[in-house]
């Protein structure tokens, strides 16, 4: 069993989280009661930011925390 946080890759340095992203299937819905208050996060020089409510990790694509860039193709 893995307890790793959910990871979202982004090209933006400023992101938001309301904890309900996986609950909604499409955009345009109000925040879910199962989520948390919307918070804005700033990705810093480490290349990621973590939500203090749900531990979701936002990783800057191509940044220092993007482990996908270290994976050899093929």
Model's pTM, two decimal places? 0.73
Q: What is the assigned CATH class of domain 1-20+36-65?
A: mainly beta
Sequence ranges of the domains in the chain: 1-20+36-65
The predicted-structure confidence for 1-31, as pLDDT tens digits, reads as follows: 556 678 999 999 999 998 876 555 555 555 5
Q: What is the pLDDT of residue 28?
A: 58
Give the distance from CA 70 to its chain's centroid: 19
What average pLDDT does this structure show over 54-62? 94
């Amino acid at each position: 069993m893995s307890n790793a946080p959910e990871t979202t890759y982004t090209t933006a340095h400023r992101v938001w989280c309301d904890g309900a992203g996986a609950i909604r299937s499409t955009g345009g819905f109000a925040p879910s009661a199962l989520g948390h208050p919307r918070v804005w996060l700033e990705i810093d020089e480490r290349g990621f930011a973590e939500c203090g409510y749900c531990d979701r990790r936002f990783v800057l694509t191509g940044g220092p925390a993007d482990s996908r860039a270290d994976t050899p193709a093929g």
